[in-house]
């Protein structure tokens, strides 16, 4: 899974090659510079922004997010010889490998599929039964595109596992047969419920932050417990600090004032003077009872 964690490095490399600043990229995509900076550090990126980012940089979005896997073209002469054990990551408790022969309609999943999906899968009917119509339609559309055009496809979909919804991330690529056409799909899938749930929660929180920040006239910063900035209005306020300076300030605040921060989390609020700035901190819970911090700078 190292390719996932190297997303930020690939993005920085692309920006360097194109001699493009993070601010210019942010303006081009219509996002904040804070968001771009988080991406360069390997932070999460939703599907819509990933599509726009890859299109703007003129690179394959799966390669950008996951690395070397997508850089191997399905059309290469060696593709037909690959099998499920060669083309994907080694089997583990977390990663399911699978292949689907389009000519025979036979599917094969690695032995750990039950641990991830909740059932043994020996046919596509069993697979489709795990999801709703919208997820199935999206997957079929993606697979159809691979069959027509080659390449790879990646998506998140939700399954019902014994009454509990789980998010699965799946990537597939086509393998050509003797007729020169894609006759087999091979892929990897893993349970991504924690990341997807966090992504959806942060998206809702961002909407909440945006509403609040639009009505606040002084500098306000929202962070997690470790001090990482989730949102801020510093760019619209009269403050001589760029994002990196602001992030450094809050990392240092959290590291050097742990007792004060514990008190804020316990009582709900507190004030401190740090690096010549008067800071008021507030502890809140979002709609899912997950904590975040709000700081006002004077």
Band (68; pLDDT cuts 50, 70, 90): very low
Q: Determine the average pLDDT of the residues in 17-44.
A: 82
For residue 25, pLDDT over 80 is answered with yes
| Whole-number Å distance between alpha carbons of 270 and 284 | 13
Q: What is the pLDDT of residues 209-256, one digit of tens each?
A: 676 666 667 788 888 888 888 777 776 655 667 888 888 899 999 999
Residue 159's pLDDT is what?
Answer: 86
pLDDT tens profile 263-287: 999 999 999 999 999 999 999 886 6
pLDDT for residue 285? 80
Q: Which range in 80-89, 202-211, 258-267 is most confidently predicted, on average pLDDT?
A: 258-267
Q: Are strands 277-285 and 291-297 parallel, antiparallel or unpaired?
A: antiparallel
pLDDT value of position 257: 94
pLDDT of residue 231: 77
Mean pLDDT of 133-142: 88
CA–CA separation, 157 and 241 (whole Å): 41
Cα–Cα–Cα angle for 82, 86, 90, rounded to 5 degrees? 155
Please give the pLDDT value at position 135: 87
CATH topology of domain 1-71: 434 Repressor (Amino-terminal Domain) (1.10.260)
- pLDDT at 177 > cutoff 50: yes
- CATH 3.30.450.20: does it fit domain 192-298? yes
Boundaries of every domain in the chain: 1-71, 74-191, 192-298
Please list, in sequence order, all residues whose beta carbon lies within 8 angstroms of the beta carbon of residue 171, skipping any fewer than 6 positions away: 62, 66, 69, 70, 152, 153, 154, 187, 188, 189
Instruction: Return the pLDDT at 274.
Output: 94
* Alpha-carbon gap, residue 6 to 3, rounded angstroms: 5
Q: What is the mean pLDDT of the chain?
A: 78
DSSP 93: S
| Residue 192, pLDDT score | 79
Over residues 127-136, the mean pLDDT reads 88
DSSP helix/strand/coil, 278? strand
SS3 51: helix
What is the spatial distance between Cα 136 and Cα 110, in angstroms, rounded to a whole number? Answer: 21
Please tell me the distance from the alpha carbon of residue 49 to that of residue 32, in angstroms, as a whole number. 12
Lowest mean pLDDT among 17-26, 102-111, 209-218, 255-264: 209-218
In this predicted structure, the answer to whether residue 75 has a pLDDT above a threshold of 70 is no
The first and second tokens of residue 92, run together, are 């583990």
Bigger pLDDT: 62 vs 7: 7
Task: For the chain, give the percent of residues with pLDDT over 70.
Answer: 77
- Contact (CB, 8 A) for 183 and 101: yes
Position 279 scores a pLDDT of: 94
145-155 confidence digits (pLDDT tens): 898 888 888 88
Question: Mean per-residue pLDDT for 91-108?
Answer: 81
Residue 264, pLDDT score: 93
| CATH annotation of 74-191 | 3.30.450.20
The yes-or-no answer to whether 1-71 and 74-191 have a common fold is: no
- Cα–Cα dist 99/106, whole Å: 8
Identify the band that residue 80 occupies on the pLDDT scale cut at 50, 70 and 90. very low
Averaged pLDDT for residues 67-95 = 44
Which residue is it, tokens 């911090």? 293
């Amino acid at each position: 899974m190292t390719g996932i964690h190297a997303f930020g490095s690939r993005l920085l490399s692309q920006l360097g090659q194109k001699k493009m600043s993070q601010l210019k990229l942010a303006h081009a995509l219509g996002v904040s510079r804070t968001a771009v900076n988080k991406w360069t550090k390997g932070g999460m990126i939703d599907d819509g922004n990933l599509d726009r980012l890859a299109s703007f940089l003129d690179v394959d979005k799966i390669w950008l997010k996951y690395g070397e896997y997508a850089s191997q073209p399905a059309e290469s002469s060696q593709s037909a010889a690959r099998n499920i054990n060669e083309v994907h990551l080694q089997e583990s408790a977390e990663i399911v490998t699978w292949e689907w022969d389009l000519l025979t309609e036979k599917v094969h999943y690695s032995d750990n599929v039950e641990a991830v999906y909740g059932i043994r899968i020996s046919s596509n009917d069993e697979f489709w039964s795990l999801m709703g119509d919208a997820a199935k339609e999206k997957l079929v559309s993606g697979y159809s595109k691979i069959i027509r055009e080659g390449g790879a496809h990646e998506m998140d979909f939700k399954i019902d596992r014994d009454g509990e919804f789980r998010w699965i991330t799946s990537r597939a690529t086509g393998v050509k047969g003797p007729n020169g056409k894609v006759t087999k799909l091979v892929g990897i899938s893993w349970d991504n419920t924690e990341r997807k749930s966090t992504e959806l929660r942060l998206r809702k929180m961002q909407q909440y932050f945006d509403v609040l920040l639009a009505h606040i006239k002084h500098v306000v910063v929202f962070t997690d417990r470790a001090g990482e900035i989730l949102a801020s209005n510093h760019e619209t306020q009269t403050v001589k600090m760029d994002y990196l300076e602001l992030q450094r300030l809050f990392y240092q605040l959290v590291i050097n004032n742990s007792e004060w921060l514990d008190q804020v989390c316990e009582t709900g609020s507190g004030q401190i003077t740090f690096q010549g700035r008067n800071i008021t901190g507030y502890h809140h819970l979002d709609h899912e009872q997950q904590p975040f911090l709000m700081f006002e700078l004077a």
